[in-house]
């Protein structure tokens, strides 16, 4: 049997972190088994489904590096097929027309609440003759679910889960306007797409029982099911925006690398010994459904940042510059950078990257720490840098002239000049380096000072020093 999984998001919002993990698990399982992962957009909710949400889902999956096989299937376009299946169940006696009014249904719910019972349809039209139907009422089609016995889902994660059929009512398959319900559409689409394995959140576990009843009524094979626990916040509560319940595009905008987010997500609820970092090939080779835990995973931004920092240090310098440039359409204007790097700035960023990426935890921090490379003269110093320069400016007197004499502008040569200057003054190296760093970068921290001077180049270094020192004398 060829394994076929599917990721089936509803485009009523962007691709959130839980959906991304579900997509990753489906993708990994299909890859591990040499099968396929299909993508279906469940857009039957026409009022809430939007084109921007569809685009965000597709872009988010692509950014994460999760591809799918074949064309995207749009559920709404298959409405005629869903209706055809509902009518076939009607013809076989496995479904029936229900003419219960909205008022009757509300009364049933009120009575159930009063008695503290589950909200269930009481089956009043299950065996009635449609000839008794009231005039002008358009019926729904309901599944004639079994009244006795039990419905079982042999779940690869949750184990054997059993429902008593008396507790599952006759669910609606086709609404009175002829549109299919989610329950019917999912079963028909999964069957027609030859899906063999359904991997989704455990909030769908009861849906698994209801959908199993539809499969059985149709005489179709029930796919293997795996219901994975949801992601909770670090405090164990339901995941919210403050915990990290954000769209994937938000993580991209915050400067996380797709390889890092993918690695973090795979470890949310799935384990493989003590291994923390996985290449894509290692993920695929190791992934199995049996190692998914039954308890909710807890989202931890600190751990995500640590993983991201690890991958930033492992990523080639030119690729990190590309990642920085991809963020420019969103934040470049704030830094007067526009939407692309100039060739000259790109070369400087690549040269400076070994020092830059040692400190940064994400690409936004990387761009901020590279401020000294793209800052316009005269530099605007932050508060700490301004304080360091104010305290140490007097110790920089004469250093410009000494640096002007350096013809071979290397890290070793400029370091030698700065050390000699400090010795002449009887000062420690830091007492010179700190105000010098502030004048050259506008910040109190930066990559190694002498590497910074080399990347800036002789002319830019001297010009920035003159700017800051002349500004002081003018004041």
CA angle, residues 127, 133, 139, in degrees to nearest 5: 85
Judged by average pLDDT, the poorest of 117-121, 195-199, 267-271, 369-373 is 117-121
Report the pLDDT value the prediction gives residue 475, as an integer from 0 to 100.
Answer: 47
Please say if the pLDDT value at position 307 is more than 60: yes
Mean pLDDT of 203-227: 97
Provide the pairing of β-strand 159-164 with 150-155. Answer: antiparallel
Backbone angles phi, psi at 346, to 5 degrees: -60, -45
The pLDDT > 90 percentage for the chain reads 79
What is the Cα–Cα distance from 65 to 291, expressed in whole angstroms? 23
> How far, in Å, are 226, 229, 230, 305 from residue 202 at the CA level?
8, 5, 7, 27
- For the stretch 135-179, pLDDT in tens is 888 999 999 999 999 999 999 999 999 999 999 999 999 999 999
Task: Please report which confidence band the pLDDT of residue 277 belongs to, taking 50, 70 and 90 as the band edges.
Answer: very high
Cite the residue boundaries of each domain of the chain with CATH code 3.90.800.10.
Answer: 79-180
- For the stretch 13-26, pLDDT in tens is 888 999 999 999 99
Report the pLDDT value the prediction gives residue 320, as an integer from 0 to 100.
Answer: 97
CATH code of the domain occupying 375-475:
1.10.10.350
CATH code of the domain occupying 4-74+183-232:
3.40.50.620
Task: Please report which confidence band the pLDDT of residue 332 belongs to, taking 50, 70 and 90 as the band edges.
Answer: confident
What is the Cα–Cα distance from 195 to 38, expressed in whole angstroms? 8
Assess contact for 370 and 335: CB atoms under 8 A: no
Mean pLDDT of 66-87: 97
Report the pLDDT value the prediction gives residue 109, as an integer from 0 to 100.
Answer: 83
Mean pLDDT of 291-316: 94
Please say if the pLDDT value at position 76 is more than 80: yes
Cite the residue boundaries of each domain of the chain with CATH code 3.40.50.620.
Answer: 4-74+183-232
Of the residues 138, 241, 384, 428, only one is catalytic, namely: 241
Report the pLDDT value the prediction gives residue 241, as an integer from 0 to 100.
Answer: 62
Cite the residue boundaries of each domain of the chain with CATH code 1.10.10.350.
Answer: 375-475
Determine the topology of domain 79-180 in CATH.
Answer: 3.90.800
Looking at per-residue pLDDT, the higher value among 106 and 4 belongs to 4
Residues ≥6 apart with Cβ < 8 Å to 51 = none
Backbone angles phi, psi at 92, to 5 degrees: -90, 0
- For the stretch 250-272, pLDDT in tens is 999 999 999 999 999 999 999 88
Per residue, the 3-state secondary structure of the chain, as one string, reads: CCCEEEECCCCCCCCEHHHHHHHHHHHHHHHHCCCEEEEEECCCCCCCCCHHHHHHHHHHHHHHCCCCCCCCEEHHHHHHHHHHHHHHHHHCCCEEEECCCHHHHHHHHHHHHHHCCCCCCCCCCCCCCHHHCCCCCCCEEEECCCCCCEEEEEECCCEEEEEEHHHCCCCEEECCCCCECHHHHHHHHHHHCCCCEEEEEHHHHHHHHHHHHHHHHHCCCCCEEEEECCEECCCCCECCCCCCCCEHHHHHHCCCCHHHHHHHHHCCCECCCCCCCCCHHHHHHHCCHHHECCCCEECCHHHHHHHHHHHHHHCCHHHHHHHHHHHHHHHCHHHCCCCCCCHHHHHHHHHHHHHHCCCCCCHHHHHHHCHHHHCCCCCCCCHHHHHHHHHHHHHHCCHHHHHHCCCCCCHHHHHHHHHHHHHHHCCCHHHHHHHHHHHHHCCCCCCCHHHHHHHHCHHHHHHHHHHHHHHHHHC
Q: Hey, how many other C-beta atoms are within 10 angstroms of the C-beta on 45?
A: 14
- For the stretch 357-404, pLDDT in tens is 998 999 999 999 999 999 989 999 999 999 999 999 999 999 999 999
Report the pLDDT value the prediction gives residue 103, as an integer from 0 to 100.
Answer: 84
| pTM as predicted | 0.90
Task: Please report which confidence band the pLDDT of residue 242 belongs to, taking 50, 70 and 90 as the band edges.
Answer: low
Report the pLDDT value the prediction gives residue 235, as an integer from 0 to 100.
Answer: 80
Q: What is the mean pLDDT of the chain?
A: 92
Of 5, 1, 2, nearest to 225 (Cα)? 5
Q: Is 241 a catalytic residue?
A: yes
Please say if the pLDDT value at position 473 is more than 80: no
């Amino acid at each position: 049997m060829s394994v076929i999984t599917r990721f089936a998001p509803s485009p009523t919002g962007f691709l959130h972190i839980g959906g991304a993990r579900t997509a990753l698990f489906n993708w990994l399982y299909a890859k591990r088994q040499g099968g396929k992962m299909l993508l279906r957009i469940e857009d039957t909710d026409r009022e809430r489904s939007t084109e921007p949400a569809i685009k965000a889902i597709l872009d988010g999956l692509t950014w994460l590096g999760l591809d799918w096989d074949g064309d995207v299937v749009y559920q709404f376009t298959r409405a005629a097929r869903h209706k055809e299946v509902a009518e076939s169940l009607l013809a076989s006696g496995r479904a029936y027309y229900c003419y219960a009014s909205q008022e009757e249904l509300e009364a049933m719910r009120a009575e159930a609440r009063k008695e503290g019972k589950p909200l269930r349809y009481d089956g009043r039209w299950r065996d009635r003759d449609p000839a008794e139907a009231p005039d002008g009422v358009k019926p729904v089609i309901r599944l004639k679910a079994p009244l006795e016995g039990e419905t079982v889902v042999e779940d690869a994660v949750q184990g054997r889960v059993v429902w008593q059929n008396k507790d599952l009512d006759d669910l609606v398959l086709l609404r009175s306007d002829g549109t299919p319900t989610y329950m019917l559409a999912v079963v028909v689409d999964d069957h027609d797409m030859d899906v063999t394995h359904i991997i989704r959140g455990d909030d769908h576990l009861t849906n698994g029982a209801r959908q199993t009843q539809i499969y059985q009524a149709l005489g179709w094979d029930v796919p293997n099911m795996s219901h994975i626990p949801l992601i909770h916040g670090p405090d164990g509560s339901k995941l919210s925006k403050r915990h990290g319940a954000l769209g994937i595009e938000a993580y991209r905008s915050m400067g996380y690398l797709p390889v890092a987010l993918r690695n973090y997500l795979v470890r949310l609820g799935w384990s493989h010994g003590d291994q923390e970092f996985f290449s894509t090939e290692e993920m695929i080779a190791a992934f199995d459904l049996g190692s998914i835990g039954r308890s909710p995973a807890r989202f931890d931004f600190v751990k995500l940042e640590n993983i991201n920092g690890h991958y930033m240090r492992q990523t080639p310098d030119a690729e990190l510059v590309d990642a920085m440039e991809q963020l420019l359409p969103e934040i470049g204007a704030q830094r007067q950078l526009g939407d692309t790097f100039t060739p000259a700035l790109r070369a400087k960023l690549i040269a400076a990257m070994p020092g830059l990426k040692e400190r940064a935890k994400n690409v936004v921090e990387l761009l901020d720490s590279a401020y000294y490379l793209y800052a316009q003269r005269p530099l605007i110093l932050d508060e700490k840098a301004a304080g360091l320069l104010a305290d140490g400016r007097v110790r920089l007197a004469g250093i410009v002239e000494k640096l002007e004499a350096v013809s071979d502008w290397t890290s070793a040569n400029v370091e030698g000049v700065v050390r000699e200057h400090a010795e002449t003054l009887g000062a420690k190296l830091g007492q010179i380096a700190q105000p010098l760093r502030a004048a050259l970068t506008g910040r109190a921290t930066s990559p190694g000072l002498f590497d910074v001077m080399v990347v800036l180049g002789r002319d830019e270094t001297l010009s920035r020093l003159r700017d800051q020192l002349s500004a002081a004398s003018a004041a």
